[in-house]
Amino acid sequence: MRHVIVAANWKMNTTPRDAGELARVIGSRTREPGVIRVICPPYVCLAAVRDAIAGPDVAASDGMGVAVGAQNVHHEAAGAYTGEIAASMLAGLATWVIVGHSERRRDAGEADELIGRKLRAARGAGLRSILCVGEQLADREAGRAEAVVGAQLLGCLDGADLADFGTEGGLPWLAVAYEPVWAIGTGRTARGADAAAMADAIRRTLVALGMRGGEDLPVLYGGSVTSGSIDEFLAEPSIDGALVGGASLKPDEMAGIVARAGLTAAARGAFAKPSS
């Protein structure tokens, strides 16, 4: 029985003045039991979001609140890295982090080896990671999508102790977001069946790498997810939720997406209440 997760990637949107209220509204309109909700605002809005979702009005009936995530983290613990944020600095601000998003691969030149170091730094600091992988359109058209994503996973997890990335305290330490690059912010989504096949391939790869419990790893779909398109993905038993970008800034959209995720969670049966 795998966890159901809906993560909101706000990207470079919102300010410390408005982020808290947006998070509170989204939290109060997405109180579906069994769904792990994560809001990932810009760094400077983490504290505002953390404070805004601390109240009881965002908790679901299973007691689970909204978690806060960062959108990136540096791979080193401290030092001369101007403008960067170390994992330990996120203590008290975030419990999750997005690692390896394709916009960072594209804009900051992040490669798999570096992403793997971020993953290990995050785990070392007690942060749960959403690791993003996904192919370019040319890869999909050439029939190379699974090979590309498999290579990304190998590159990112090389050197990691996979035993550290299972489930603990009722929550997974790692979720993988399959985000085909050509579907991000384009309004064009993958087909549900293709995303499901990729989710299965991702879990197979992790099991082959020796990850105990790899078959229980949550795999999310990301790329132009909306309340209208989420059903195509969550109708697939292999898909465990979504990483939502543009639509995650809209409370109506998030309400629809998490409501659909709640159906999946209910069908899978309730999890024990996580401890963090």
State the residues that interact with ligand PGA by CB under 6 A. 9, 179, 184-185, 222-225, 243-247
CB of 187 to ligand PGA, least distance (A): 8
CB of 222 to ligand PGA, least distance (A): 4
Question: In the complex with ligand PGA, which residue's Cβ is closer, 6 or 244?
Answer: 244
- Strands 219-222, 35-40: pairing kind: unpaired
Considering the candidates 3, 74, 101, 232, report the single residue annotated as catalytic. 101
Tokens of 256: 């629809």
Q: Which residue is nearest to ligand PGA (CB)?
A: 245
Tokens of 32: 């579906």
CB of 77 to ligand PGA, least distance (A): 27
Using an 8 Å Cβ cutoff, are 265 and 39 in contact?
no
- Distance from C-alpha of 22 to C-alpha of 273, rounded to nearest angstrom: 25
> Active-site residue 75, yes or no?
no
Is the dihedral angle over the CA atoms 218, 2, 51, 16 positive or is it negative? positive
Tracing tokens 């109708």 back to the chain, one arrives at 235
Considering the candidates 179, 232, 236, 253, report the single residue annotated as catalytic. 179
> Active-site residue 179, yes or no?
yes
Question: In the complex with ligand PGA, which residue's Cβ is closer, 105 or 211?
Answer: 105
**In 10 A of CB 66, how many CB atoms?**
24
CB of 163 to ligand PGA, least distance (A): 28
Which residues are the active-site residues?
101, 179
